[in-house]
Structure 1
Amino acid sequence: MEFRYHFTRTALLREAVTTVAAVLAYFLVRGLTEGSVSLAVENAGRVQEAEEALGIAWEWTIQEALIKHDWAVTFANWVYIFGHWPVIACGGLWLAVRHPRSYFLTRNAFLISGLIGLVIFAAFPMAPPRLAEAGLIDTVTERSNAYRFLQPPTLVNQYAAMPSLHFGWDLLLGIGLAGAVQRRVLRLLALLLPTLMVVAVIATANHYVLDVVAGGTVALIGLWIAVKIRPRSPDWLWGGAPRNVR
C-alpha cells in the first residue's frame, strides 16, 4: 500500500506561513539563549584545544589559503550568505511542490534538529573563531552587508557557534533534494552545496571544524528521529492526511 502526500494551494500557503513563523521563533529563542561572553570565549578555547589534540585545527590553514585570493574570499562569503537561507527557501519550496513526501520528512528533520540545537546553544554557549581572539578574520562582515539583512543582528545569537546548523541544515536539504531527483548528476549537485558550506563556514571564521562535525551529527540525528516517528506522526506534521493509493 502506497501513501502519496500532496498540497493544495491553501495548504501550501499555510505551510509557508507556518514555516516562516517557525524560523522567526527559532531565531528569537536562539537570541534569548545567548550566554555570557567570557564563558563563550572559554568554551571556544576548549574546542580549540580539543582540535589541536585531535590534529584537526585546520581553521588557520584554510583561511590563510583563501585569504590570498580575493575571488576565493568573495566566493566563500557568497556561499555562506546566499547558500543558506535563500537556497533552503527555494529548495524547500521546490520539494513542497514537486516532492511533498520528501519535503515533509526534511521539514520535520529541520524542526527536530533545530530544537536539539537550541538546547545545546543554551547549555554550551560558544564564540565563533572570529570572536574568540583566535587571530582569524571575519571576512563576511568586512566584505558585505548582505548578511545583516538576511539575519538581522537583533535576531542573532553571536555565541551560538556549536553546533553549526549553517552546515547541518544545508546537509539536510542536500539529502532531501538528492533523494527526490533521479539523475546522478543532480544528486551530486544537491550534495555539492553542503560540501562547499563546510569550507565556507570555516574559511569565513564563523565556525570551527568541530562545530561542523557537531552540526552534521545533530542534523542526521534529527533526520533519523523524523524517519522513526513518520509512521505514527499526527497529520499536522505531514501537512494533512495522506492519500491512500493502491
Structure 2
Amino acid sequence: MNEPPWSSTPAWKLPGWAEPLMVVVILFGAMFMTRKKGFRVFRSKSRMYKSVLDSDDAACSTDELLVHEERDEIDTQNSMTTTKYSPKMRRILGITFRTPNTSRFKHNIHSRVLQRFPFLLEMFYWVINYAFYRMTAVLSQRIFAGRGIWTVAESHGLAILEFEQHGVLSFLFPNELKVQQWFMRNHQDALSSLNKVYALIHIPGTVGFIAWYYYVAPSHPTFARVRRTMNLTNFMAFTTYIFYPCMPPRLLPTEYGFLDTVRHDDAQSVWMSGKYVNSLAAMPSMHFGYAFCVGCTMICHSGVFRRKLEHGEMSKTWAWKLFYLMVGVGYPMLILTSIIATANHYFLDALVATAYVLAAFMSNRVFCVFVPLEDWLLWAIRAERPVPSTDERFKEADYRL
C-alpha cells in the first residue's frame, strides 16, 4: 500500500530539557501553593503544628494511599489506644494490623519539611508509579524472550484489528486507518497539532491535574479517592503491559497502511524515548485512561449533576460550572482523537482503559492494604506523616466570614 500523501514540516520542537523542566515547575509550584502557611520548618515550636494523632481528623494519619470512609475512620480512631506513642491498630479488610506510632518523630527535620510541604508525599507516590511503568518493558521482554516479544506484540495488535473489524462488536469501532488517512489527506495542520497533543500533553497534563486538584478539592478524602483510582488504574494497566504486550498501529508492517505521524512530525516527547520506555504498551491506552479520569473528575467538580455541595465545598457560578463541564467532556475527546489519528492506539485500547478506570473507582479501597506498609516505612525513616493541606483554603475562607 502506498504511503498516504502527507508530508509535514515540523513547526517546532522542544529541547530535551524543556519537558522535565515543565514538570518540575508544576510540582514545585504545587508544593508552594499547598504549603502549610502557619508552619515554619526551623522554628523550635510552631503554634500551628500538631501531630496527626492529636488532630481532629486523626484517622487520616495513614490515609491515604487511600481515603477511608467516615465510619472506617471512626473505627480506626477507636481501635487506637490512648497511651502516648502506643502502637496503631489498623483494621483493614477485616484484619487487624499492629503498626508503630510515628508521632514521636514529629520534630525531626524531615518530618517538619513534610509537614510544611505535604504535597511531597504525593510526589513520592507518583515516582513509584513511574518506576513501575519503566519496569514493564524489562519484565515483559523476559517473559516472552523465548517466543520473541516483537512477534507476540504484533500478533496481539493484529488480533485487535481483526476483532474490531470482523468481530461481533465491529459496529462499535470505526476504522482507525480511515481516521488517520482522513486527517492526512484533508486536515494536515490539525494532524500536526494532534501530534503535539499526543506527545507533549500526557505527562505535564496529568501531573498538572494532580497538583491542581490537590489544591482545589473540597477535602482530602475527595482528592485521595481520585488519586487512588488513578493509581489502581495504573496498576491494572501496567500489569497488562507485562503479560499482554501489544504493538500499536504505527509499528505494524507497512502493508497495513499506518504512519507514525508523531515521529514523522518530529513531535517526539522526551518521556517516550530511552532504554526503559515500553513501546509495545498499546493495550490499554493510559493516555485515554488518565484523560477519562480527569474528565470525570472535572464533570463531578462542576457540580452540574450534583444536588448538594460537599461539606466545606464552595459554590460555583454557572460560568465556572460550564467551564469545568466543557473541559470534562472536551479533554477526553481531544486525547481520544489524538491517539487514533497518530496511530498510537486502537479504539479498543480506549474502551478497555475506560473499563479499567470504572473498575478502579469501584474497588480502589483495596489499596488500603498498603496503609500498614506506609506506617512501617515512615517508622524506618523516622518521620511522621504530614496532615494534608487540601482543604485549608476553604477553612481560611470560613475563618474570614
- The residue number in structure 2 matching 1:106 is 226
Query: Partner letter of residue 121 of structure 2?
Result: R
Deviations 1:148-188, CA, capped at 9 Å, x for gaps:
x1333323111111111110111112222332234133122
Query: Partner letter of residue 201 of structure 1?
Result: I
- The residue number in structure 1 matching 2:260 is 138
- Relative to the length of structure 2, the TM-score reads 0.54
Structure-2 separation of matches of 1:31 and 1:102: 33
Deviations 1:6-54, CA, capped at 9 Å, x for gaps:
99542112322x1341232122222222441011111111111101111
Structure-1 separation of matches of 2:295 and 2:331: 7
Give the conservation status (yes or no) of the 8 Å contact 1:162–1:211.
yes
Change in Cα spacing, 1:188 to 1:220, as seen in structure 2 (3 Å) is same
Query: Partner letter of residue 25 of structure 1?
Result: A
Matching residue within 179, 201, 207 for 1:83 = 201
Query: Partner letter of residue 301 of structure 2?
Result: A
Q: Which has the higher contact order (CA 8 A, sep 6+)?
A: 1
Structure-1 separation of matches of 2:367 and 2:130: 25
Structure-2 separation of matches of 1:205 and 1:102: 35
Query: Partner letter of residue 261 of structure 2?
Result: T
- The residue number in structure 1 matching 2:120 is 13
Matching residue within 228, 235, 238 for 1:118 = 238
Structure 2 unaligned residues grouped into runs of 5+: 1-56, 64-113, 304-320, 376-384, 390-394, 396-401
- Where do residues 195-214 of structure 1 align in structure 2 (5 Å cutoff)? 195-214=333-352
SS at match of 1:155: coil
Give the conservation status (yes or no) of the 8 Å contact 1:102–1:176.
no
Structure-2 separation of matches of 1:22 and 1:177: 25
Offset, 1:76: 1.2
Change in Cα spacing, 1:19 to 1:131, as seen in structure 2 (3 Å) is same
Query: Partner letter of residue 279 of structure 2?
Result: Q
Change in Cα spacing, 1:224 to 1:46, as seen in structure 2 (3 Å) is same
Instruction: Figure out how many residues of one structure are paired with residues of the other and give that number.
Output: 239
Change in Cα spacing, 1:138 to 1:118, as seen in structure 2 (3 Å) is same
Structure-2 separation of matches of 1:181 and 1:9: 30
Structure-1 separation of matches of 2:245 and 2:368: 35
Structure-1 separation of matches of 2:369 and 2:246: 36
Change in Cα spacing, 1:9 to 1:126, as seen in structure 2 (3 Å) is same
Higher helix share: 1
- Where do residues 141-180 of structure 1 align in structure 2 (5 Å cutoff)? 141-147=263-269, 149-180=270-301
Structure-2 separation of matches of 1:211 and 1:231: 28
Change in Cα spacing, 1:101 to 1:82, as seen in structure 2 (3 Å) is farther
Structure 1 unaligned residues grouped into runs of 5+: none
- Where do residues 29-40 of structure 1 align in structure 2 (5 Å cutoff)? 29-32=135-138, 33-34=140-141, 35=144, 36-40=149-153
- The residue number in structure 1 matching 2:163 is 50
Offset, 1:231: 8.8
Deviations 1:178-200, CA, capped at 9 Å, x for gaps:
32234133122123111111111
Change in Cα spacing, 1:63 to 1:181, as seen in structure 2 (3 Å) is same
Change in Cα spacing, 1:94 to 1:8, as seen in structure 2 (3 Å) is farther
Deviations 1:42-84, CA, capped at 9 Å, x for gaps:
1111111101111425101110111122211112112212331
Structure-1 separation of matches of 2:349 and 2:357: 12
Structure-1 separation of matches of 2:212 and 2:115: 14
Offset, 1:125: 1.1
- The residue number in structure 2 matching 1:67 is 184
Query: Partner letter of residue 51 of structure 1?
Result: E
Structure-2 separation of matches of 1:139 and 1:188: 28
Give the conservation status (yes or no) of the 8 Å contact 1:66–1:73.
yes
Instruction: Say which one has the larger Rg.
Output: 2
Structure-2 separation of matches of 1:64 and 1:128: 16
